Every structure is written in C-alpha cells, then in structure tokens.
Amino acid sequence: MTDNGNAADSTSGPPAPSRWLTIVVVCAIVVFLGMVAGAGLWMTAAITVASVVAIGNWVATQWSAGVVAVRLDSPEEGRDLEVVIGSLIPVTVEVTNQGKLPVAWVLAEDLIPRGATQQARQADGMVLDPRTTPLPIEGARLAVMALLPGQSKRIEYSVRCHRRGYFQIGPTVLETGDPVGMFRRYRLGARPMFVTVLPKVQLLSTYEIGSRRPIGEIKIRASSMTDPTRLRGIRQWQIGDPLRSVHWAATARTGTLHSKVYEPSSVAGATIILDLHVDTNPDQHEPLRTDLTITTAASIAAALHDAGEPFGLATNGRDAADRIRTEGFRGDHRVRDASVKAASLKQLNERLRPVIVNVDRGPVHLKEMFRTLARLERTDGLTLAEFLVETESQLSSETTMLVMLQQATEADIAALVGLSRRGWAIAVVINTLDIDRYSRMAGPLLAERIHVSHLQSEDSIMDVCRAQMAR
C-alpha cells in the first residue's frame, strides 16, 4: 500500500491574488502614514519584520507541500498482512523532497499505538514477561532529515510479533517549519498498514465432546438413541426389542431369535462461545487468560477441521478491525497531538453487535475462524447472559455449544442452565487458576448434568479436549 499523503494534506496553499492585493494595500497605507507622522524608521523596521514573517510562512508551506512519504513492501491497498506469532516484520518508509527548494529539516515519525509497544502489567503494577509486549520495536521509527530537491531518505525498523492481535502500523506524520522556528507544519505522509497476528494453535490428537445429534462419528457412553451404523454385537431377543433390530442370520443359524446391539454415537462438531466481557475477564488476569482462551478455541477448531467436523464461533467480544477502521485512523492531522491520537486505541467500546462465524467445514472456513479469533478483544457491551438471549436463534442446534469463560455471574449460569433444559447440548470450559473459583462455578452446572472442564494452562488444553461427554 503506497500513498503520498496528498489526499490527507492539511497545509494551506499560497494566498489567493485578492489576499495578496489586500496585503500590499495595507502595507502601502502603513508606510504612508508612517512617513506623514515622521516615523519612517519604525515603519521600515516593521515592514522588515513582516517580510521575514511572510517569507518564513511561505518557506514552511513550500517545504511541507514538497515532502511526501511512501510505505515500501506493504500489502496491496485494502488487504491486511497476516503473520504468525514470532514473525519479524520489516517496515520501510521512504521520505522524498519533491519540491524545488532544499528542505533544511523535516521530522518523520511512523506511529504505532502505545499499547502495542508497552509491556503488560498486572493490577499490582508488576511487569509481566517481556514476551507479553505485543509489538516490540527493533530500530528507530523517528528521524530528522535534511533533503535536497529530489533526494530521498528512509526510515527502516522491524516489528517483532509476540502476541496475537490486530494492529495498525502507521500513519507516518511529517513535521517541518521555517528556519527560525516561527511556523510549524504537520501533515500525514504514508497511510497505515494493518497486521493480523494469528493465534497459536496446539495440535490435538483427540476431540471427544459430542453433541446430542445421533448417528455421528464418536462413541458416547449413554444415549436414548443408538446408531444403526455401529454394530457392537448380538444377543438373544428380549421382550421389547423392535423387529428391525432382529439379526436374521443369527436367528436362522441358531433357531432362536437374536437382536443386534448398537453403539450410541454423536456428532463431534462444536459452536465455540467465548465470553469476553470486561467484568468477567478482569484486568488483573490480562492478557494471559484471554490469550489462553483464544489459543484453546483455535486448537479445537483446528482439531475439528482435521476430523472433517463442523465448527463455528460466537462471542460478545469486539472485532479490532471494526474498532481500528472506524476509530483508530481519524482526526485533524494539522496538529501532531491529533495525529498521535488517531493511531491510539480507544479503550471504551459499547457496541452491542455480536461476532458470529456460522458453522461450516473446510480450510477456507478454518482460515476465517483464525482471523476472527486473532482480532477479538474484550468489550463492555453485552454480558454473556444477554449475548446468549440475543443470539440463541442464530446458533446451530446440531453442534455442542462449547462455552469458554473466566468468571460467571448468577445470570450467566442461569442462562446456561436454561439452554440445557431447552434441549441444547452444553459444555463449559472454565479458564482459571483458582480451584475454589472453579468449584463454585462448576457446582451448579454439574448439578444440571452440564459437562464442565478446567482450563488452567496451555498444558491442560489437551485434557479439556480429551474429556468425553457423559450422556
């Protein structure tokens, strides 16, 4: 994506002819009055100062209009760069003087949101592992340059991707002014590029959380309906056995009625429900617990894809792409502070639109799932209970509703119990280190025969997915 920033240029051009005529007339009147009053020396000094000011203003305007910035080796316009965790992204911005005057100085800075370059801190102020810094910078993204006409210089630095997310790199802000520092000009140079850092995926050998839809791919312990495609064995006929279950070959061979015995089975697909409300995902656990939830969801989706099973996603979190494109690149770029603010993250977001990826199969669907998971952020919009009420009609009833949460209010637990009683297959994954908190939340769910798993760390992801739904 290359852009010389002309569309966003906020510097004003030279005055119109009528304005010049007004200035000349005013200066002539001032000189005439000064001569009449006998203060010609003072008027000459005033005109000299005014001339210096006018020339400085003109020079600053010409310098600002002549300097442009271009982002090299960036994705095509309208496309985002997709990388995995640990990738190193080289960033190059070329600044060129396209004017006819030499530019004594221009300050060029490629902006990056402050939160993307700062280490995460716990509630008590302790700095977490340096790897929790989303985008540490290697090199300088700010430079002061002197440019001759037609000369170009570059800002070169690298961005290391330590965490999943959706990030804005840029825009480039250009600042210049007259030689004596009386005037400053600010303008937008290269437009930003957007980077999606895909979440980490753990390879899972098994996934055995089934839905209540019979005749599927995995065996379950008990079911009111059996799978006629899975013959487990035969036994003597008993009163109440349906006629269609009679094993006629064994009956003819033994002369005694025998019945077929089938294994119960279920579809292993899942609709992954992520609770990302700020009240139930407190700051003191961030960003580690949310990233663990995203990693688990991505790993389960990959395992279901490898098994040829359907999977989908629904969450009350916000999509960072919507936030950045509507809030992160906006403002009056005539001042430097507004330019910096345009590249900052807006913390409060009360948008109530859920993020839903419909249930489907295939590699294209899996790629869409990874992109969506990478961009998810916490929100202060819908709570889990409100979200479930809002989206129940949009969710697939043929897959397990696999709910992942850190904390749950009484309303949240009541909503899950209500869904289970209405026939939904519910499984809950509680993401917490505190065994007491896990026990308090799991108790009411287990009492309603809802399967509950404890997610403590990445090492327990395998245990969560190996758990088999009891029917």
In contact, 10 and 333? CB cutoff 8 Å: yes
Q: At what angle do helices 435-447 and 410-421 cross, to 10 degrees?
A: 30
User: Looking at residue 399, what is its pLDDT?
Assistant: 83
Q: 166 burial class (0-12, 13-18, 19+ CB within 10 angstroms)?
A: buried
Domains detected in the chain: 1-198 (2.60.40.10), 235-262 (no CATH), 270-317+354-466 (3.40.50.410)
In contact, 53 and 169? CB cutoff 8 Å: no
d(CA 257, CA 43): 124
Q: 101 burial class (0-12, 13-18, 19+ CB within 10 angstroms)?
A: middle
User: Looking at residue 197, what is its pLDDT?
Assistant: 93
User: Looking at residue 149, what is its pLDDT?
Assistant: 92
User: Looking at residue 456, what is its pLDDT?
Assistant: 86
Using DSSP's 3-state secondary structure scheme, residue 39 falls into coil
In contact, 312 and 396? CB cutoff 8 Å: yes
The token duo for 200 is 């980490």
pLDDT by residue (tens digit) across 353-368?
789 999 888 899 999 9
Least confident of 191-200, 222-231, 368-377: 222-231
Q: Is the pTM of this model over 0.85?
A: no
pLDDT by residue (tens digit) across 256-300?
888 887 655 445 678 999 999 999 998 887 888 899 999 999 988
Q: pLDDT > 70: what percent of the chain?
A: 75
- Most distant CA atoms of the chain, gap in Å: 139
Roughly how many angstroms between the first and final C-alpha of the chain, as a whole number? 54
Please say if the pLDDT value at position 6 is more than 50: no
In contact, 450 and 422? CB cutoff 8 Å: no
Q: What is the mean pLDDT of residues 408-436?
A: 90
User: Looking at residue 249, what is its pLDDT?
Assistant: 85
User: Looking at residue 83, what is its pLDDT?
Assistant: 92
Please say if the pLDDT value at position 203 is more than 90: no
Using DSSP's 3-state secondary structure scheme, residue 374 falls into helix
pLDDT by residue (tens digit) across 293-324?
999 999 889 888 887 888 999 999 988 887 77
User: Looking at residue 204, what is its pLDDT?
Assistant: 65
Most confident residue range from 93-97, 205-209, 225-229, 282-286:
93-97
Please say if the pLDDT value at position 119 is more than 90: no
The token duo for 35 is 């001569």
Q: What is the mean pLDDT of residues 410-418?
A: 93
User: Looking at residue 393, what is its pLDDT?
Assistant: 87
Output Rg (C-alpha) for the chain, integer angstroms: 33
**DSSP state, residue 38:** T
In this prediction, residue 374 has a pLDDT band, given cuts at 50, 70 and 90, of: very high
Please say if the pLDDT value at position 16 is more than 50: no
d(CA 365, CA 285): 30
Please give the distance of CA 141 from its chain centroid, rounded to a whole number: 23
Please say if the pLDDT value at position 10 is more than 50: no
pLDDT by residue (tens digit) across 18-36?
555 676 677 777 777 777 7
pLDDT by residue (tens digit) across 42-89?
777 777 777 777 888 888 888 888 999 999 887 777 688 899 998 999
The token duo for 219 is 């065996």
In this prediction, residue 179 has a pLDDT band, given cuts at 50, 70 and 90, of: confident
